[in-house]
Amino acid sequence: MILFTCTWVGIDIARNYSKRPKQIRELLHALQIMEAEMVYGQEPIHQVLYKISKQLTPPLGYIFMIYLKLSLIAMSHYTPFGSKH
């Protein structure tokens, strides 16, 4: 029973490691899309992050969605220099 469990856990860990190169390529591609959208499309960062999060597969899509939510929270607390809030 212990041998079976250890083998199963090892195979599961190896499967996750085998997904890494594909995820890294997908992340690099997403960053290139993000750059192009921001430079050439001149869209706000939150719109770019939303588009990219919908195009990507989990877990990368989740990362961009979390970053989107954090940036929206940060923007809601932003006050320009010299203004009182």
**Residue 78 pLDDT class (50, 70, 90 cuts):** confident
Can you give the pLDDT at residue 28? 96
Mean pLDDT calculated for residue range 51-66: 92
> Any idea which residue has 């490691």 for tokens?
17
Tallying the residues shown for the chain, one arrives at 85
> Where do the structural domains in the chain lie, given as residue ranges?
42-76
Residue 52: which of 32, 72, 71 has the closest Cα?
Answer: 32
Angle (CA) 54-69-64 rounded to 5° is 40
Mean pLDDT calculated for residue range 63-83: 82
Q: Residue 20 above 60 pLDDT?
A: yes
Q: Residue 31 above 60 pLDDT?
A: yes
Q: Which residue has the higher pLDDT, 15 or 75?
A: 15
